[in-house]
Amino acid sequence: MTLSHPYRRLLLLSMALLLVYIGGSAQGNRRIREHEVQREETVYSIARKYNVPIEKVYELNPWARQQIKVGDKLIIPSASATTPQAATSQKGRKHRVESGETLYGISRNYGIDLVDLLRANPGVTSTNVQVGMELVIPSAKADSPVISDPAPAPQEPTAPSQVAAGQTRILMLLPLKQDKHYVEFYEGFLLGMYQLKKAGISMQLTTLDVPSDAALNAYIEEGKLRGKDLVFGGVTESQIRAIAGASGYSYYVIPFSKAGALETGDGRVVLANAHTATILGRVIPAFVQRYRGKEVIFTHRSGDTEDSFVTQLRTALSRAGVSSRSIEVGRGAVGGLGNNAVVVPISPDRNLALATMAAIGTQTAGISLFGYPQWQSYGPNFQQSLRRYNTTIYSSFFFDPTLPEAKDFLSQFTGWFSHKVSNSYPKYSVLGYDLARYFIRAYSMYGQNFVSNMSSIPSDGLQLDFHLQRGEGNIYTNDRFFFVNYPSSGAILREAH
């Protein structure tokens, strides 16, 4: 049953009264009140007006997280009804936002983590922070992530322990003021750290904004990387090469691969997102094995450019003696596809995929469609259409939002950061979450030896799994990929290779 807005508010008020009755005293004090929203008011300003924590307002009015408008009525707890812990947090340091300030900059100035600042000021985000707004500044905790310049580097690099250390020291190097994708990566990373902290893992995070290559080089010269167990970041080829060539840290994890032929020679660089050539070198043999005995039909339109996957696949099929042919699509359904074929468009282009589906038409018996990672970004209607053709795609990344653990992540992310996960491929927030949980947990368990104990490290990423292979240039590369099958009915199947 779906309740209309007035009935929902009445139900919430009844629940609030019941909660206050159970938990309150019998003195008859007024523990809640009702507030009618006026023009230009926000939940933040209303909470300040009544001197109550904003999270308490949201607890009694969860619908208000989405939007409030003039005339809405909010249930407001009295100051005496709030918990001592919440009241204490409101008495912490305060900061009035000045012109030109950002939440990230404020957190750095106070030596606290951005996520702690956000949690102390629910409802405040980088998009709604305003000049003159008063923020609660939480006190720094000994085991909390720190967003600040690290302590002065020692004169000589400290040799990292070969066994798991008591606290894992992490450094993040990202252009957080330049691209929202990197901010989302960082937010997901923080949420991953939070999950690990609940499991008892001790860590300390230092985050440095990297607006330019020059800024990164300055950090390196100042010794900011020394003494760190795990370093994450680098978004350009020059930045990746600079970090990989620096000294004094244990491992460098490259989240976004934009550099090739790195020659480090010491096996301390990890490529979390393998280059396309590496993945195709594993996908193509798996494709040949999977579809042996079927006819492979390549589809194209006039003027389409063939993807490197198809070029290499044609060669592999010929060597394996697997039958294949090409047909032109784009003019409606075509006949003669047979009933034991896998259809492969020659490029990931969305319109070619749609033309291929139209060509197959209703001839779906015995026919399956095979496609590309990019198909994940073409929207829910496109995703649903894949089911009609028993489609399988290959991809290094795949996030299924229908899984219980994925739903939990999405809910927590929105609750923490007051915005939804962006609809991108890959999802940067989930990438940060997965990298934090895998590598920090691995290092906390085995120290520098974690790459020798991969079989004992849980690989339970929401978007990617991990299999580190030492290869060219002495680099460890995560060469794991998925075959993702969209069956006509039932759950999507993600098969790791």
Query: Residue holding tokens 């812990």?
Result: 85
Across the chain, what does the average pLDDT equal? 81
- Range with lowest mean pLDDT among 5-19, 67-81, 103-117, 164-178: 5-19
**Which uninterrupted H or E stretch holds 493?**
strand 493-496
pLDDT of residue 364: 74
Question: Which of 280, 287, 254, 289 shows the shortest CA–CA distance to 268?
Answer: 254
Question: Which of 289, 277, 296, 315 shows the shortest CA–CA distance to 396?
Answer: 277
Q: What sign does the dihedral 281-287-293-294 (CA atoms) show?
A: negative
- Quick check: 467 pLDDT over 80? yes
pLDDT of residue 129: 76
Please report, for the chain, the start and end positions of each structural domain, with discontinuous segments joined by +. 5-87, 92-137, 168-274+406-479, 277-395
With 0-12 / 13-18 / 19 or more C-beta atoms within 10 angstroms meaning exposed / middle / buried, residue 412 is middle
pLDDT of residue 166: 67
40-44, 177-181, 211-215: which is most confident = 211-215
The residues that bridge with 422 in the sheet, in sequence order, are none
Separation between Cα atoms, residue 127 and residue 38, nearest integer Å: 22
- Range with lowest mean pLDDT among 122-131, 225-234, 312-321: 122-131
Convert 217-247 into a string of H (helix), E (strand) and C (coil): HHHHHCCCCCCCCEEEECCCHHHHHHHHHCC
50-54, 377-381, 449-453: which is most confident = 377-381
pLDDT in tens, 392-441: 999 999 999 988 899 999 998 988 888 899 888 899 999 999 999 999 99
Q: What is the mean pLDDT of residues 190-206?
A: 89
205-219, 264-278, 456-470: which is most confident = 205-219
Q: What is the mean pLDDT of residues 464-482?
A: 88
- Range with lowest mean pLDDT among 142-156, 167-181, 228-242: 142-156
Q: What is the mean pLDDT of residues 466-482?
A: 87
CATH class of the 168-274+406-479 domain in this structure: alpha beta
pLDDT of residue 8: 43
CATH fold, domain 92-137, is Membrane-bound Lytic Murein Transglycosylase D; Chain A (3.10.350)
Confidence class for position 108, pLDDT limits 50, 70, 90: low
Give the architecture-level CATH label for domain 5-87.
Roll (3.10)
- Quick check: 84 pLDDT over 70? no
Question: Which of 200, 140, 191, 150 shows the shortest CA–CA distance to 170?
Answer: 150
Q: Do 92-137 and 277-395 share a fold? A: no
Of 60 and 36, more confident? 36
Separation between Cα atoms, residue 138 and residue 110, nearest integer Å: 9
15-19, 110-114, 298-302: which is most confident = 298-302
pLDDT of residue 235: 92
pLDDT of residue 297: 94
- Range with lowest mean pLDDT among 96-105, 182-191, 230-239, 249-258: 96-105
pLDDT of residue 26: 34
pTM: 0.68
CA gyration radius, the chain: 27
Q: Apex CA 418: angle with CA 417 and CA 421, to 5°?
A: 75
Confidence class for position 332, pLDDT limits 50, 70, 90: low
pLDDT of residue 219: 95
Separation between Cα atoms, residue 456 and residue 439, nearest integer Å: 13
The residues that bridge with 168 in the sheet, in sequence order, are 203
CATH fold, domain 277-395, is Rossmann fold (3.40.50)
pLDDT of residue 36: 86
Q: Are β-strands 168-174 and 134-137 bridged in parallel, bridged antiparallel, or unpaired? A: unpaired
- Range with lowest mean pLDDT among 68-82, 327-341, 418-432, 433-447: 68-82
- Range with lowest mean pLDDT among 27-31, 385-389, 429-433: 27-31
pLDDT of residue 490: 83
pLDDT in tens, 131-153: 888 888 887 654 444 433 333 33
- Quick check: 385 pLDDT over 80? yes
